[in-house]
Structure 1
Amino acid sequence: MIIAILMPFLIALCIPFIAKFKYRIHTGYVAFAASLSIFLYFLTLLISGKTDILYHYSWIPSLGLDLTFYTDGLALFFALLISGIGALVAFYSIHYLDLEERLGSFYVYLLLFMGAMLGIVTSDNIYALYTFWELTSVSSFLLISFWFNRKASTDGALKSMLITFLGGFALLGGLALLHLVTGSASIREILTKGDLILGSDWFPLIVVLLLLAACTKSAQFPFHIWLPDAMEAPTPVSAYLHSATMVKAGLFLLLRFTPVFRESEAFFIAVSIIGLLTLFWGSYMAVRQTDLKGILAFSTVSQLGMIMAMIGYGTEAAIFAAIFHILNHATFKGSLFMAVGIIDHETGTRDIRRLGGLWKLMPITGIISVLAAFSMAGVPLPILNGFYSKEEFFASSWDLSADRAFGTGFASVLADIVPYAAVAGSIFTFVYSMYFYFRTFTGKSETTVAKKAHDPKFGMLLSPVLLVSGVILISIFPNWFSRHLLLPAANAVYGETMEAHSIHFWHGLVPALLMSLIVVISGILLYSTRSYWTGLYKLLPGRLSGNNVYSVILNASEKQTKKLNDHIVSGSLRQYNAIIISFISILTLLVLFGTNSFDLSNMDTSPVSLPQSLPELAVAVIMIAAAFGSTVSQKKLTAVIILGVVGYGLSILFVLFRAPDLALTQLSIETITVVLFLLCFRHLPEFKRERKEKLSKKITNIIIASLCGLMMMLVGLAAYSQRLFPAISDYFIENSYKLGGGDNIVNVILVDFRGLDTLFEITVLAIAALGIYSLIKLRQKGGDR
């Protein structure tokens, strides 16, 4: 299993070298082979029934950080989606992207994203999950901004990164609180301590933080604004990230922790309201769009909202329906994105106002689109998988009040309203699906588009054909998928073993069917009269827009940051030092006294006897006088020499305290330091003191210097006086000769016990020396340049 998870990262390391031969063999075939092999591995696990596989590697045992990967039914379900859709997208991109593109970079980013998503769904350690979570944000930023010469691409990538990073910080806080409450970083162990979490004072904050992470990643209202702008990415990226993988990461997060949260009414209220609101708003806004990818972007928002609502319901039927629709959405939405990529590739436009009549010009693409769009709409046909999961959604919404008991009045009222909200949101889903298909493939086509429009070669058609075949295949054999794929995943989410769930096209005249008929009839009426009611968009949203809010916040933060930066970065070395030293000193002192960490003890100190201590006292007085003299000296050379007295005085103290090796080291360091000071001062302007320096400036300098000195003194005293842990010196005393073969303990520590540290320090010095030597040689060759 670990090889399958690490394979995308390993292949990504090889891609830059393979990309050099892209004119002989397309780089995409390597990414396709890697993705396909991962998919086949997880498929063998599914067929063999081996779902509970655990891989454990102890990473940092002292901190309790382990790399543990676990494949239960839910992880296997998502792993198959990630690798399977990834293989189809990699193959599709071979024919979509031109050989002159930066193929090496594209497939590196794509494989990094795939590996990160596999890491999210299989990680058992919460901190590993967070690491992979943030890696998806970084790699998606690189994919969305792939065409970085387009401002819209970089702006869309920046927006997606900022919003998803906000959720990432929230996720880290929520996971840390879960670790604090449960005392475990293992997700499997956390899920067994649901009562402890629900009874914790931190529970409301945990829910808010995890919900914020899920909403930003899965484009829930009002954080959905990043998804339409991310459509500036190449179409293979949209088909992968925004239909099957990245936007499903937030849903996966909630599904993974649903066994803990599903009994909470607060969780039900928050998640259901957000999901239904997103369903309605996304579908409502999709009808307004004129860009084909824009329509699909808002349609994705609405579909994600529907799945989110079902997760919020928390009932057995709703959890199963959510898993089922995740699968169906990946098939019909992935094929729709690829169809749009074909239209754009062959006609040169995605503007729906310039398209029309493409059915005669692009019949295969039209068949793909009609099956996928009608499945997305939930049209009641037995070969459309979208209808089956839409029926499950309606059924779980209608039966919510009966399947779940609520203790609060608001939750009960919400449960009664849920079916009506589900129907209202789904009506616009039907409208935008019809709008997408009929405005693109029926009617008259524009002359310029008609001249170049035709179906592409088989290579570009293969991936969307296979995906839309999945739409039909799932519809024909729904119970096979239910038994082998959906039910194990739903059991992992529900936390209990569900009964076998039978899926049929005809259930009789049940409320779910009546809800579907209401959606179809209302949708047809609204689509037929679209020109009469689209003026509503001038009122709602009108000028109100999440994008406007985002722009205001971004512009204001940039202006304030620039003002703060201009104020701080003034070019004054004194100001920089004052800020840094003051901050460190105040923070250290606050922590020292705020945590009662200061303790003064003289139990281990040497007794002070005046006759015996006169040499040490004399050297100390000289050092204090030299330190003070360096501050009042009028010449820079004199200041450097006097400052050197302090260092050499410390060397004498080492001799007096019988530490000759430290004395020699200090002498060497001090000599080099003085020489370096002199070399630097030679190139600096004359050392002039401001005789008329303001009194406030002098007082500020005295306060900062005293604060820093006080901080260093107290930290030194506190560090010596306290022994929070057993002294490590005993270990070195006992083992320096036995294990290191040397009597000089300090040398043995540096060479043997900390040999790698010393080696890397020497390596850093060597690299720095080479860099300096190269700069000197360049200057010699280039003269004054």
Structure 2
Amino acid sequence: MLFAVFLPVLLAIFIPFFSKWKEKIHTGYFVLLAPLAVFIYFIPHVGNDFSPVSQSYDWIPSLNIGLDFYLDGLSLLFVLLISGIGTLVTFYSIFYLHTSERLDQFYVYLLLFMTAMFGVVLSDNVFVLYSFWELTSISSFLLIGYWNYKEGSRYGALKSMLITVFGGLSMLGGFILLSIITETTSIQAMISQADVILSSEYFGLILTLVLLGAFTKSAQFPFHIWLPDAMEAPTPVSAYLHSATMVKAGIFLVARFTPIFSGSDWFFVFVSGIGILTLVWGSYMAVRQTDLKGILAFSTISQLGMIMSMLGFGTSAAIYAAVFHILNHATFKGSLFMIAGIVDHETGTRDIRRLGGLVTLMPISATLAFFGTFSMAGLPLPFLNGFYSKEMFFDATLELNESSIAFANVLAQAIPYLAVFGSIFTFVYSMYLVFGTFMGKQKLDQLKIKPHEAPIGMLISPIILVLGVVLIGLFPNLVNSSFLAHTAEAIYGQSMEAKHVQFWHGWELPLYMSLIVVSVGAILAFTRKYWNGIYSFIPGKLSFNKVYDFLVDQSEKASAKITNVYMTGSLRLYMALILVAILVCSFGVLWITDGFAFENPKVDEITIQEVLIALTMAAAAICTVFTRNKIAAILILGVVGYGLALLFVVYRAPDLALTQLVVETITVALFLLCFYHLPNLRERTEKASQKLVNIIISVAFGTLMTVVAISAHSTKLFAKISDYFVETSYKLGGGHNIVNVILVDMRGIDTLFEIVVLAIAALAIYGLIKLRNKKEAE
């Protein structure tokens, strides 16, 4: 699994080379290999005899953090969605993105996102999961802002990152508390200690923090506001991130921790309450939109709310329905995003007010759109998969368990009505989307491009997804026992029999609820222009976007005020602030942890030569402050360094002495080389109060260093590592010089990277000098 997770990012290393040939062969053809290979690798795991698979690789064993991967039914569903939809989206992007675009950057970002999502759904270690989680935020930020010359793209990218990273940091807090309580970082081990977590006094805080991470990532109310603005991304990004993968990461997180949290009634209140509210609000607001991707964005919000609410129900029927709808939603919503991209690509606009009558000009796209939207609307037709999971959702709302919390019981009674209300508007925006785009009067004069059908390459991906819609609709039990049942079991935490799904199950209440949705939704859809004015009252001018903009604006203003206080251009002030911060933090930690320790160890007798060298160094350091001659200051400062080299010699450390001599000689030489550019050491004009502050900071910092040195020498928390180096330097490194063996062999990678850093710095300096010379020449 390790190779499968990191395959996309490994391929990304070669994208700059592939992009050189993009005029002859589109870069997407190379990228296509990564998700396709991962899909082929995992597809054999689908089967009735499936059992979980785990793999572990050491990473930071001292912190109990390893690359631990766990493949069960839940992670298998998501990894197949990520790789399968990723393959189709990549193929779609080949025809959507022209070779004049920055394809190398786009595909690097896309592959980085794939790796991040694979890591999220396969990680069993909470801190590794968090690392991949934040990588999804970073890579999605880059993808949403891909067209960075557009203000909307920059705004949407920043908005998504701020909200999701806020949730991610909250989630990290919950993970830290979980690891402390259970004394493990393994999710499966935490699940086995669910009773310990539920009985913890920190359970409420843990639940809140983890759900914040899930709600922000899956665009739950009121954090949903980032998703519509993310539609500024290219359509392949929207089809991938915002229908099948990133926005479902929060769904995955809730599903993964359901075996732990579902034992609390508050889990139902938070998850189902927010989920059903998101369903209602998202579907209601979708009808208000005029941009095709805007409609799909709010429809995604509503569908995610529906799935989230079912996970909160906690019953076996609800979990099975949620799993089924995760699969169904990926098929019809992914195809609809691609169709929206095709319409934009072939007409030059996504404004539904300028579209209409395209069915005769784009018959294949229209047909695909009809299948996708009717499935999303839950139309009772046997060849549409959306109807089955919608029926199961209605059925689950009627079988909620009683709770010891009064509000939970009230919510349970209201949920069926809210589910019908939200589904009515789901039907309305579905009809609005498909009929407003493809039916009615043509408005060719309002289009930038004369519409025509998309090339076959762009149609293949949505055709495959729509075939998935139809096949699942015709054969809903095809993957029940071999696939969906394993996923539901992983969430439910207990063995579960595969639910038999059928189109006709008698005249029961869920069917009546569906008929109400279709009949009322049809009336509202075809009379929309008469009641559309309600949006001027609800929500009217109220918007969570305004709250977000206000908070960001005030944060920037406050930050600017604070920055202007200390960014005065005074080097003295900067150094004073840095040193004071170090003093406060260091002394504070020593005080709180009772970290100071003093022990009178047995040391060698101090000789007169050591005292003389130390006094000379101290005198030189003091004289440096008071001298007014630049050459004298450089030479006196050199005395300090050479004195330290002498101390190394006295203490029988010739290697360190040689190193110090070389460094000090180079430093003095460099000072002399730039002698001309050094500032004049004129008499200082500071006030007496400033001088007093300087003295206090200097004495305090010197005291801190002394205290830290004494405490570090007197504290013996661990066995001395020097004994290990003494015993093994010759055996492992083959050298008698212990310092050299440590630097070259035992810590060779550190030394290598230090050299690399120096080389990078040298290249940067060379580039700056070359740029300056070029500008001077011009």
TM-score by length of 1: 0.94
* Corresponding residue SS for 1:437: helix
Task: Specify the alignment match of 2:433 in structure 1.
Answer: 436
**Post-superposition shift, 1:727?**
0.9
**Which aligned segments of 4 or more residues in structure 1 are displaced greater than 6 angstroms?**
773-785
Amino acid across the alignment from 1:723: K
Counterpart for residue 689 of structure 1: 683
Judged with a 3 Å threshold, the aligned counterparts in structure 2 of structure 1 residues 725 and 393 are, in CA distance, closer, same or farther, namely same
Q: What is the one-letter code of the residue matched to 1:440?
A: T
**Matched residues in 2 for 1:781 and 1:238: separation?**
43
User: SS where residue 296 of structure 2 aligns?
Assistant: helix
Deviations 1:240-293 (A, max 9, x none): 111111111110011011110111111110111111111111011101011111
Confirm whether residue 207 of structure 1 aligns to residue 204 of structure 2: no
Aligned mates of 1:769, 1:235 — CA distance in 2? 41
Give, in angstroms, the shift of residue 89 of structure 1. Answer: 1.2
Does 2:147 match 1:147?
A: yes
Does residue 62 (structure 1) correspond to residue 62 (structure 2)? The answer is yes
Q: Which amino acid aligns with 2:498?
A: A
How far is 1:381 from its partner?
1.4
Letter in 2 for 1:169: L
Question: Hey, what does 1:312 align to over in structure 2?
Answer: 312
CA shift, 1:13, in A, is: 2.0
Please name the residue that 1:337 is paired with. Answer: 337
1:557-579 deviation per Cα after TM superposition (whole angstroms, max 9, x unaligned): 22222232233222211111111
1:391-423 deviations in whole A, cap 9, x for unaligned? 1111111111xxx23112221222111111111
Deviation at 1:629, TM superposition (A): 2.5
Measure how far apart 1:740 and its partner are.
4.5
- Looking at structure 1, the residues matched to 771 and 108 of structure 2 have their Cα atoms a distance apart, in angstroms, of 35
Q: Which residue of 1 aligns with 2:457?
A: 459
Say which is worse superposed, 104-113 or 325-334, in terms of deviation: 104-113
Pairwise CA distance, 1:614 = 4.0
- Contact residue 654 and residue 662 of structure 1 kept, 8 A: yes
Residues 253-272 of structure 1: matches in 2 within 5 Å?
253-272=253-272
Match of 1:717 in 2: 710
- For residue 93 of structure 1, what is the aligned residue in structure 2? 93
**In the alignment, what sits opposite 2:414?**
417
| Match runs of 1:330-729 below 5 Å | 330-400=330-400, 404-448=401-445, 452-606=450-604, 613-690=607-684, 692-729=685-722
SS in 1 for 2:68: strand
- Note closer, same or farther for the CA distance 1:715–1:778 as it changes in structure 2 (3 Å cut): same
Q: Give the Å deviation of 1:644.
A: 3.2
CA gap 1:251/1:396 in 2 versus in 1, 3 angstroms: same
Question: Residues of 1 paired with 2:270 and 2:92: CA distance?
Answer: 39
Could you tell which deviates more after superposition, 643-652 or 766-775? 766-775
- Aligned equivalent of 1:117: 117
Do the aligned residues in 1 keep the contact of 2:444 with 2:450 (CA within 8 Å)?
no
Q: Distance in 2 between matches of 1:170 and 1:760?
A: 33
Distance, in Å, in 1 between the alignment partners of 2:441 and 2:764 is 67
Determine the structure 1 residue equivalent to 2:158. 158
CA contact (8 A) 1:51 1:76 kept: no
Indicate the residue corresponding to 1:730 in structure 2: 723
- SS of residue in 1 equivalent to 2:69: strand
In structure 2, the partner of 1:30 is 30
In structure 2, distance between residues paired with 1:409 and 1:783: 77
Q: Between Structure 1 and Structure 2, how many residues are aligned? A: 777
Separation (CA, whole Å) in 2 of partners of 1:774 and 1:537: 57
* Alpha-carbon distance in structure 2 between the residues aligned to 1:7 and 1:478: 33
Cα distance in 2, alignment partners of residues 315 and 118 from structure 1: 28
Structure 2 SS opposite 1:317:
helix
Q: Which residue of 2 aligns with 1:168?
A: 168
Q: Please state how far the C-alpha of 1:157 moved relative to its aligned partner.
A: 1.3
Take 1:501 and 1:747, find their aligned partners in 2: how far apart are those partners? 67
Task: After TM superposition, give the deviation of residue 455 of structure 1 in Å.
Answer: 2.1
- Mapped contact 1:640–1:674 kept (Cα < 8 A): yes
Tell me the distance in 2 between the aligned counterparts of 1:475 and 1:202: 45
Distance 1:112 1:616, change over 3 A: closer
* 1:582-601 per-position Cα deviation (integer Å, ceiling 9, x unaligned): 11121111111210110111
**Identity of aligned pairs, percent?**
58
The answer to whether the Cα contact below 8 Å between 2:395 and 2:510 also exists between their aligned partners in 1 is yes
**Partners of 1:658 and 1:462 in 2: how far apart?**
75
Q: State the shift of 1:500 in Å.
A: 2.6
Structure-2 separation of matches of 1:347 and 1:120: 38
Amino acid at match of 2:625: T
Instruction: Tell me the CA shift for residue 764 of structure 1.
Output: 4.5
Q: Does the Cα contact within 8 Å between 2:48 and 2:482 map onto a contact in 1?
A: no
Structure 1 position 654, deviation (Å): 4.1
For the 8 Å contact 2:48–2:481, the answer to whether it is kept is: no
Residues 739 and 523 (structure 1 numbering): CA distance in 2 closer, same or farther, change over 3 Å?
A: closer
Distance 1:12 1:773 in 2: 28
The DSSP-based 3-state class of the residue aligned with 1:57 is strand
User: In structure 1, what is the equivalent of residue 290 of structure 2?
Assistant: 290
Q: Distance in 2 between matches of 1:772 and 1:382?
A: 68
What per-residue deviation string (whole Å, max 9, x for no partner) do you get for residues 677-733 of structure 1?
33344312211122x531211111111111111110100000111111011222233
Q: What is the CA–CA distance in structure 2 between the aligned matches of 1:284 and 1:776, rounded to whole Å?
A: 59
**5+ residue gaps, structure 2:** none
User: How far 1:748 moved relative to its partner?
Assistant: 4.0
CA RMSD of aligned residues (A): 2.3
TM-score, normalising length: structure 2: 0.95
1:767, 1:290 → 2: CA distance?
50
Contact 1:347 1:449 in 2 (8 A): no
For 2:164 and 2:91, how far apart are their aligned partners in 1?
28
Q: Using the alignment, how far apart are the partners of 2:119 and 2:740 within structure 1?
A: 43
**Which deviations, in whole Å up to 9, do the C-alpha atoms of 1:41-80 show, x marking residues without a partner?**
2222214744522222122222222112221111111111
The amino acid that maps onto 1:497 is S
Gaps of 5+ in 1: none
Cα–Cα, structure 1 residues 714 and 547, in superposed 2: closer, same or farther, change >3 Å? same
